[in-house]
Amino acid sequence: MKKLKGVSPLFWFGAGYLVLLVVFAIFGPTMRHPFDEQVSKPFLTPSSEFWLGTDEIGRDIFARLAYGARISLVIGIVVQMIAVTIGIIVGITSVYANKWISIPVQRFTDGMFAFPDLLLAIMIVGVFQMGVGPVVIGLSVTAWPAIARLVKNQVATLKDREYVVAAKAMGANTPYLVLKHILPHLWGVLLAVMMVDVAATILAESTLSFLGIGVQPPEPSWGQMIQVGNLNKNSYPLLLLWPCLMLSLTIFALNFVGDGLRAIVDPKKNQAI
Amino acid sequence: MTEGAKTNSQITAGGRFFRFVRPLVLRLLYGLVSLIFISFITFVADEVAPGDAATVRAGEKATVAQIELMRHEMGLDRPWPIRYVEFLGNAAKFDFGNSVVGTQQPINKQLGQALPITMKIALLAILLAAIVGIFLGTVSAVYENKLADRGILSLSTLGVTIPNYVLLPILVYIFALQLNQLPTSWAPDGQRIAPDIYYLLIPVVVLALRPMATLTRLMRASMVDTLKQEFVRLSVAKGVPRWRLYSVHCFRNAIIPVLTAIGTSFGYLLTGSFVVESAYLIPGIGKVAIEAITQRDTPMILASTLVTGALFVIVNLLVDLVLPLIDPRIRESQV
């Protein structure tokens, strides 16, 4: 536990916030009012009955924010799972496969990496129609190249470490080497990167929903709520404030935790880039 | 004597020209291939997805037979590889056909109206981002670890993390609704009550903020590295004035990675303009593309996709062209 001493208080703030967010996402949507039904008059200010007030058609903002948190977290985590799986496979392939496979794979990864993420996601959502499924597909397709690059670089350095070479000399085959001696060293770095990438995914999902091509009503999401708030900001600015606040806090928290984790797993790189 | 051992004077003018042009041609080809790849993916994905342009054009009440007839009229009943090649052929002539929804206007006309607006905002934004970013980055590097540096770095962190669809409504709320200084949304040319600059201010600033923050950080890092080099110490010893040292001697060395980043930032500007346009009601290419997606206007989705992708490829190509003019080392490495 000595390692944890150097971690900044922001890490603990972020981690605490994230725990609260998960609790909020699990219990919030049905705790007091349903998230998708009109329960009172529109544009109510916060009260003991409606903690954060009601939205443009009289739905409980507290419940809707909580459901938005659930959607954002689920999309963020599922997309990262898919991206990390593809990233690990592609990353390892581009180090260990023969050059007829590895070079085209690397070129393809670089090409995907260079192309603007969100533009690609918008195109994919554009052709597959809107909704949660296409958003997950679109964001996964854009998220894996960064992971693949990271895995490739890490594997390329780990491959030449003495203990790996020694294991190889003792007759270990490649799958065994990768599973037993290389992958276990990657989890720490990957976890740190995933935290930051989940933040990026949540931002991208909110952007798509803000544009009206992401999560579709009546299912609420933060991006969609920001859009509605933007339309009503003159008459009722609170509608804009809540989702903006939630989204910003979540992004900050994920970044703090990601940076903190990186400092724990990789103390050498604990410098501002 | 090997090829590489030739000195510059031994290479003929024609040979030098060829060696200078070849990597650019290769890059152009690479860009073209990626565009074709993008169009292919979009096209095939659209084939896989349920429903097509004929269903949309025939309307919601159409019978199966009517849709079939429409499909035949539009030539959609032919196999997709044939139609894809046809689409590519037309796209090469900048002919994207007509929209399948609404009044079915020619896509060229719609894009022709939307593109200049987007380009104007994006170019102003990248200009603002580059000027402010390079300036702040230099200041930051010169005062490394001093108060000014820390202040600029914290601001740039904020600039990277705040999403533009959060920032834009906040700015509109403050400057348009509360202070009443700027318009709340875009207005077409004929219906403006204030000079153009007032309408451009919020979208350009919001769009510029993130590239500005990235460029500031990059310029700072690059300048810090440059300032540590030998020639800087030599220049100081020689008595070169400070401002001349920074603005002439170091600047040209430090600017190279920043220029490359301007090209990649442009990709962000394109997607950023989707958001800014839809939040500030600007009829640019982003708004057109989003409308096409919600209405399932396939030809329009394909066209706007290709055009935005092409813009990205072209801008990055331009950056590649400009770099060797600025940095002789890149010129040499290509020769």
Nearest to A45 by CA among A268, A267, A241: A241
Q: For chain A, which residues make up each domain, given as ranges?
A: 2-32+55-272
The three-class DSSP label of residue A54 is strand
Q: What are the pLDDT digits (tens) for A43-101? A: 667 776 666 677 777 677 788 888 888 888 899 899 999 999 998 888 888 877 777 87
Cβ-nearest to A248 among B162, B173, B279: B162
The three-class DSSP label of residue A60 is strand
Average pLDDT of chain A, as a whole number: 79
* Contact flag A116-B173 (C-beta cutoff 8 Å): no
pLDDT, residue B11, reads 55
Query: How many Å lie between the alpha carbon of A218 and the closest alpha carbon of chain B?
Result: 16
Q: What is the mean pLDDT of residues A212-226?
A: 82
Q: Which one has a higher pLDDT value, A112 or B112?
A: B112
pLDDT, residue A242, reads 84
- Judged by a CB distance cut-off of 8 A, whether residue B240 touches chain A is no
The model's confidence at residue A177, banded by pLDDT at 50, 70 and 90, is: confident
The model's confidence at residue A35, banded by pLDDT at 50, 70 and 90, is: low
pLDDT, residue A13, reads 84
* Contact flag A119-B308 (C-beta cutoff 8 Å): yes
- Judged by a CB distance cut-off of 8 A, whether residue B173 touches chain A is yes
* Contact flag B290-A213 (C-beta cutoff 8 Å): yes
DSSP A269: G
Express as a percent the part of chain A with pLDDT over 90: 1
pLDDT, residue A185, reads 80
Two tokens, residue B279: 């939040």
- Judged by a CB distance cut-off of 8 A, whether residue A183 touches chain B is no
pLDDT, residue A2, reads 47
Q: What is the mean pLDDT of residues A15-34?
A: 78
* Contact flag B278-A210 (C-beta cutoff 8 Å): yes
Among A29-43, A197-211, B273-287, the least confident range = A29-43
Query: What is the CATH code of the structural domain delimited by A2-32+55-272?
Result: 1.10.3720.10
Contact A180, A193 (CB under 8 A): no
Interface probe for A, chosen from B293, B302, B319 (most Cβ of A below 10 Å), is B293
Q: Which residues of B are less than 8 Å from A251 in CB distance?
A: 161, 163
pLDDT, residue B330, reads 64
pLDDT, residue A148, reads 85
pLDDT, residue B294, reads 80
Q: Which residues of B are less than 8 Å from A272 in CB distance?
A: 153
pLDDT, residue A78, reads 92
* Contact flag A244-B170 (C-beta cutoff 8 Å): yes
* Contact flag A230-B279 (C-beta cutoff 8 Å): yes
Asked if residue A253 has pLDDT above 80, the reply is yes
State the maximum Cα–Cα separation within chain A, in Å, rounded to a whole number. 74
A62: CB partners within 8 A, 6+ apart: A28, A31, A32, A33, A50, A51, A52
User: Could you give the domains of chain B?
Assistant: 53-95 (no CATH), 107-334 (1.10.3720.10)
pLDDT, residue A1, reads 45
Q: What is the mean pLDDT of residues A9-17?
A: 82
* Contact flag B34-A115 (C-beta cutoff 8 Å): yes
Contact A107, A125 (CB under 8 A): no
User: Distance of CA A69 to CAs A56, A63, A261, Å?
Assistant: 19, 10, 23
B164: CB partners within 8 A, 6+ apart: B206, B207, B209, B210, B272, B275, B276, B279
Q: Which residues of A are less than 8 Å from B301 in CB distance?
A: 123, 126-127
Asked if residue A267 has pLDDT above 60, the reply is no
ipTM > 0.90 for the complex: no
Q: Which residues of A are less than 8 Å from B153 in CB distance?
A: 272
Strand partners, B98: B106
Query: How many Å lie between the alpha carbon of A116 and the closest alpha carbon of chain B?
Result: 5
Query: How many Å lie between the alpha carbon of A224 and the closest alpha carbon of chain B?
Result: 11
Q: What is the Cα gyration radius of chain A? A: 22
Q: How far apart are the first and last CA of chain A?
A: 26
Mean pLDDT for each 10-residue chunk of chain B (335 residues)? Answer: 47 64 76 78 71 67 74 73 80 73 75 84 89 87 80 80 82 78 71 72 86 87 83 83 80 80 80 84 84 79 80 78 71 56
pLDDT, residue B12, reads 62
Query: How many Å lie between the alpha carbon of A182 and the closest alpha carbon of chain B?
Result: 32
* Contact flag B278-A226 (C-beta cutoff 8 Å): no
- Judged by a CB distance cut-off of 8 A, whether residue A213 touches chain B is yes
Query: How many Å lie between the alpha carbon of B45 and the closest alpha carbon of chain A?
Result: 6
* Contact flag B305-A126 (C-beta cutoff 8 Å): yes
